[in-house]
Structure 1
Amino acid sequence: MKKLLLTLSSVFIIAGAAGSVVSCGVSPEKEVIFALIGGYSMSDTDLEKLNAYKEMADEFNEEHKNEENFVPINVVWRESSYLNNAVLTGDNLPDLYISYVDAASTYLESTVADQVRDMEKSMGEDGFKKFTDDLITPAFIEEGKYKETQVVFPFGKSFDISVINVNLLFQFMALFEEESVKSKLTNLEEKYKQYNAKRKNVLENNTEMSGTRIFKNGLTIVQNNQYLKQNDLEVPIDSTTYNYLVDLFLKVDNSIDGIKSIFASTKNVLALTIAMNQIIQKNLLDVTVKIDNNKYVKPNEKFNFAFGIDSLDNKYYMDYASTSEGHEIIDIQNDKDFWYNATYENKKANITLNSESQSFKDTSKYLQGMKKIALSNFEKDKSVPINYSEQWNGVFSTSRYEQNSQSKTYITQDFTKGTMFMGSASSANDFYFTTSWTKNLDVYNNQNLPTQKETVTYTPVTRADVITTSKTNESNPEKAVFMSQGRGIAGFKSNGSNALYKEESVKNFLNYIMQPVPAARFALRTSYMPATKSGMLIYENYLNGNYNNNEGNPKDKKALIKVVQEIEASYNSNSITEHQAEELIPEYFGQILTNNKPEWKAGISPVNTGFINDYLNPKIGNEVHLEENKVSLVSSKAHPVTDIVRSGIKNSISGTNGIMDLAKKPNMSFYDLIKSPSNATDSAYLAYWLGRQQGDFYKEINLKYS
């Protein structure tokens, strides 16, 4: 999860600041200040979220403007140093602000601790109960608690999801000449065709797969001991991997769940990567994309990756939930089987790193397996290049800054080339898994004969090619685990002569925005998801096309009637007839516009609809039997130490001289990441980054290893 709010230094530098919240020369704000804190300048994403929050505030203010002593909500954008400067100078602190839970928890360890808003008290007893009863999972509210204070409320959520390119999988299976594999492929293709027909609404009736050709014609995968001499279109892989893949394909169920199971375990994924890497290293890809019935393009991308994960630090947390002892809400103080434990008091942190933790071993097995395959490409005295994509080509992609590049590359950019089996990224990026490319390329009038160069738009991976699934597991592959992400709402107690009236506005505003329609509409404007069941009911019926936002009308009125009845019954305790529900549809569903055009993020999304239908809704329906639930929405309970551990993990792995740097760290194993380094200045170890948090950050950090 990105941390845009502040660095820990902005909390602990304030130790010498005055204890009062507002200095003598500062007049309290007259309005309720709701701050969206971004970077050093406002990004397009910041503006998008700012407008979404302002829309809710404007509606709330309009509704209450004539009430006596009403204090309006003023939504403002502030740059990243805003809170730090406000505390240092004794300036006003915001009544409400947007924050990740770990960042907000640090204020309870600062000189403004007594001013931190307890969000539960601010919402009121009745409102808080209604809100928590409506949450998708209790983990959402537990995540935002620190030292018995509800420092953050969940609001806009996203999840770390995985997406499979079924077109690539089927073409890969076709490279095996065993008749049994070909028969299995035929069965799976038929099941997938039926699946696409059933979800034709979210595919907008485009149920045919893209037909993007991935490999050179005539290519086959063979065992490396089958022939004394292979021809150029035979890819030899070791017998163990070959037989494992054949056995894997034959054992899977003839179903969509069967397709997903191929990617559920680490061993399966590493075997697929070994074979795909060999194809890529031998330059046997021939990606050919149809742009209309008679024309094709061959993008000939230089770098291709078998698998990709945007946020590797998320995997270290999700893998814990996959173990037999793991659970949704990770408590780093009390979960002794987690890979680190920590306490924090009076600026003193005690951290124990446990490299023997089962979940840490599981994550290490996956990543070290990928590293071993990548290193195999540079054997026989072949020098290792500096650039990430050159080092890991054929194997594994993650979010990264390439050499001499100022812009970050995300795995969805690699996934849309059509050559990645499965990519894992935020559900907020759902549309980017199937986006088009626009390039100046040779255009072919059939798949082999070029005609002329043109600037063309082409889509190697279409909506009909993909299905949504959960991450790869080492322990418990049948369990579906997703990381819960997203900033929530925190705040400081109101001040000034009208503080009581401000607090009343805060209470009413919090209760307003958690209602189904505002919560759903915010999510539809920002690519987030609602944290509540009632909000999700509205949200999902935009994404599945039952309400068509592009056209601004219901497509399946019967489905929307059921939604309205369900929300009225469960949220408002109001039983209504179908006729009454039909009359209420315009109150729950309306066209969402941005700059007088239909908001594209409120459009149909097969990726997120798949996540909701296959995982989220079954979890919601099974909440009374949580011990039997095979779906986990993982989060880590608020704690200041988690902030520095997460950032340290990122830097240790993908930073300069990190573990993934094959040129500088070829011999370092992922299993060593949280062990005690022989060289304290080695930045590929987590201990180095935790040690750098001394001084202004912490008075003392004590590290132990187990």
Structure 2
Amino acid sequence: MKKLLITLSSALVVSTAGMSVVSCGVKPEKQVVLLLPGESIGAGSTYIQDGYREIVNEFNQLHQDDENFVPIKVQWKPSGTIQSAILSGDNLPDLYVSYPDQASLYKSTKLSDRTRDMKESMTGEIQGAVTEEGQKAWDDFEKDLISNSFLQEGQYNGEQLILPFGKSFDVSVINVNLFIDYLRIYDQTNADIIQTHFEQYNKDERSALTNSTGALTKISFFDKPKSRQILGISNSANQINLSDELNPSNWVAELADKTGTGLVKGIREIFKDIDKILKIAEDYNKLAQAKQESPIDVTSTSNPVANPVAKGNNSNDKNFSFAVDSIANKLFMDYAATSGNEIVDTNNQNNDFFYSVQYTGQAAKLVLNDEWIGSENTLAYLDGMRDLALTNGNDKLNTYTEQWNGTFATSVSEPKKIYTSTYFANGTTFMAAGSSAGSYNFTKKIKDKNNADLAVVTNADLLTAPSASGKGTGNAFMSQGPGIAGFKSNGSNAAEKEKTVTMFLQYMVQPQISARFGLRTNYMPTSKKGMAVYQNYVNGKFDNSKAVQNKDGYYDKAEWAKD
């Protein structure tokens, strides 16, 4: 699995080099401060705040009897707190949660000598000398990273400004139940076989995530007779044309012969092929625009003659076949999937990416490239969706959702921010791409006609997939998420505070600690061992009795997580 990261600091337009500092005679903090700034963690993201507080509380309890131990306190502050502190001369946090561009921004101020090199802090070098224990902690951490690019994205001018911790990934999610229901328009019999095989896969391989039976939601979205009439399918049993790769009748016949991981791979390959995606989108758009026929609805297949229990989308009756939260992320992932590169160097004008940056003094010029690796597939996808939307004649309407209804959605503010998971949770989106940190929103319940909760999409219906980067390309998942940065401790007990920082950094990156944080927040571990713990907790296979408890009280090895 490829991880694509862009070093945002290299594309930063430095505008704060002349930032002045005004001292107000503020007394230094006696405790170590871990700041959760609003730029990185929103006020409403209390579950993430609680995740950090849990780690800190346990760490403080573990060391409370140590001689000269300085405890850590966690503070959430609104956006701009650190910038204001720099300007006013107020206390700066020993540690804070940050994205790379924010940390590199502070490096350009007159307090650049106060910014913390996280490697020096973790090894103990910041206290005067690297200890053997500290060097081993760093070496183990670096060796165990899922990708070295996690470190590289946080490096700036030779310093490690960001320590990678929790990561989210921009992933695509397929609604298998909706896809199978679509295939029934073309071939009811084979589509039913596919459902049986997929439910068996759920039961055999994903029972802890789905349910004991692996059953799909068994909610139907398409009125089959009306849909066949609108799409011009006179007899769904006689639609197979072996020479036509874009005929869904072929897909359903081929998939019906597959089971287990073979079936899963076959479904993913369809949703990676741009031409097949556009075929699905074209059919869907025809059905969505045939309002007088109402072929798209939500009906329980256990009682197909019953009245619909809910509209396919309960937000102004808008339906979108495909959705991508971040177009920029898609550009990055398609580049990575085609080129095999994990990192984009935006300083390099020959980076084969869609842009580079040229610096002149404190000014930066953005240079756009006419062509880049992966551009052919990316533009085919986006242009295809645009062309479909234009056929509906809604381009003069006021809002994005009105203009693109029936085709493609991206996250928009009209006026409130709407993420594509909102449309996906309503059951009528085949595939949506968004952050894994908000993955629970893909299965969020909607309201039925009686305003009662209705689970239209469940875990049993979902299948994760890489970006729809084109047939024959590699698989890419873009990593994102803030890490840990800081400013050097000050005050009369600065040495003791630095010791606490070193111990805490070594503590928080341990496998069980980072895995539990991932389970609490959906920000996954950056280490292989941490991910092993995380995955085995998720699928129900983690067994504490087989883990090894070390002197600090956390489990760092098990039979499935050994070197």
Q: Does the TM-score normalized on the shorter chain lie above 0.5?
A: yes
- 2:210 aligned with 1:203, yes or no? yes
Q: Which has the higher mean CA deviation after the structures are superposed, 131-140 or 350-359? A: 350-359
Seq. identity, %: 37
Match of 2:535 in 1: 540
Aligned length: 523
Instruction: Give the direction of change, closer, same or farther, for the CA distance of 1:41–1:423 in structure 2 (3 Å limit).
Output: closer
- 2:200–2:214 CA contact under 8 A, matched in 1: no
- 2:372 aligned with 1:365, yes or no? no
- 2:287–2:295 CA contact under 8 A, matched in 1: yes
Match of 1:168, as an amino acid? L
Match of 1:265 in 2: 273
- 2:295 aligned with 1:282, yes or no? no
- The partner residue of 2:370 within 352, 355, 360 is 355
Instruction: Give the direction of change, closer, same or farther, for the CA distance of 1:17–1:304 in structure 2 (3 Å limit).
Output: same
- 2:203–2:211 CA contact under 8 A, matched in 1: no
Q: Match of 2:105, SS?
A: helix
Match of 1:158, as an amino acid? S
Instruction: Give the direction of change, closer, same or farther, for the CA distance of 1:210–1:27 in structure 2 (3 Å limit).
Output: same
Deviations 1:133-160 (A, max 9, x none): 2212222112211221111011111111
- 2:43–2:78 CA contact under 8 A, matched in 1: no
- The partner residue of 1:485 within 480, 483, 487 is 480
Q: Offset of 1:457 from its aligned partner?
A: 1.9
Q: Offset of 1:70 from its aligned partner?
A: 2.1
Higher relative contact order (CA 8 A, sep 6+): 2
Instruction: Give the direction of change, closer, same or farther, for the CA distance of 1:79–1:514 in structure 2 (3 Å limit).
Output: same
Match of 1:332 in 2: 346
- The partner residue of 1:498 within 472, 493, 496 is 493
Instruction: Give the direction of change, closer, same or farther, for the CA distance of 1:204–1:226 in structure 2 (3 Å limit).
Output: closer
Instruction: Give the direction of change, closer, same or farther, for the CA distance of 1:206–1:408 in structure 2 (3 Å limit).
Output: farther
- 1: CA distance, partners of 2:443 / 2:467: 19
Deviations 1:205-254 (A, max 9, x none): 14222111111241344798899xx9xx9xx9xxx999544455556672
Instruction: Give the direction of change, closer, same or farther, for the CA distance of 1:348–1:428 in structure 2 (3 Å limit).
Output: same
- 2: CA distance, partners of 1:14 / 1:24: 21
Instruction: Give the direction of change, closer, same or farther, for the CA distance of 1:540–1:9 in structure 2 (3 Å limit).
Output: closer
- 2:326–2:434 CA contact under 8 A, matched in 1: yes
- 1:165–1:418 CA contact under 8 A, matched in 2: yes
Deviations 1:522-542 (A, max 9, x none): 222222111122222222233
Instruction: Give the direction of change, closer, same or farther, for the CA distance of 1:243–1:512 in structure 2 (3 Å limit).
Output: closer
Q: Match of 1:455, SS?
A: coil
| 1:259-658 equivalent positions in 2, closer than 5 A | 259-283=267-291, 284-290=294-300, 297-300=308-311, 301=313, 302-323=317-338, 325-334=339-348, 336-344=351-359, 346-378=361-393, 384-402=396-414, 405=415, 407-439=416-448, 441=449, 454-474=450-470, 476-477=472-473, 479-546=474-541, 557=543, 561=545, 564=547, 588=555
Instruction: Give the direction of change, closer, same or farther, for the CA distance of 1:105–1:296 in structure 2 (3 Å limit).
Output: farther
Q: Offset of 1:359 from its aligned partner?
A: 2.7
Instruction: Give the direction of change, closer, same or farther, for the CA distance of 1:536–1:291 in structure 2 (3 Å limit).
Output: same
Match of 1:158 in 2: 168
Instruction: Give the direction of change, closer, same or farther, for the CA distance of 1:523–1:23 in structure 2 (3 Å limit).
Output: same
- 2: CA distance, partners of 1:190 / 1:361: 37
- 2:100–2:482 CA contact under 8 A, matched in 1: yes
Q: Match of 2:432, SS?
A: strand
- 2: CA distance, partners of 1:223 / 1:413: 27
| 1:646-685 equivalent positions in 2, closer than 5 A | none
Deviations 1:124-181 (A, max 9, x none): 02221111122122221122112211110111111111111112111211212xxxx5
Instruction: Give the gaps of 5 or more residues in structure 1.
Output: 442-453, 548-556, 575-583, 590-616, 624-706
| 1:113-152 equivalent positions in 2, closer than 5 A | 113-124=112-123, 125-152=135-162
- 1:153–1:488 CA contact under 8 A, matched in 2: yes
Instruction: Give the direction of change, closer, same or farther, for the CA distance of 1:519–1:389 in structure 2 (3 Å limit).
Output: same
Instruction: Give the gaps of 5 or more residues in structure 2.
Output: 124-134
Deviations 1:87-124 (A, max 9, x none): 11122221111111122122233322222111011100
Match of 1:543, as an amino acid? V
Match of 2:493, as an amino acid? N
- 2: CA distance, partners of 1:42 / 1:339: 30
Q: Offset of 1:24 from its aligned partner?
A: 6.4
Match of 2:32 in 1: 32
- 2: CA distance, partners of 1:373 / 1:17: 53
- 1:109–1:346 CA contact under 8 A, matched in 2: no
- 1: CA distance, partners of 2:254 / 2:210: 29
Q: Offset of 1:292 from its aligned partner?
A: 8.7
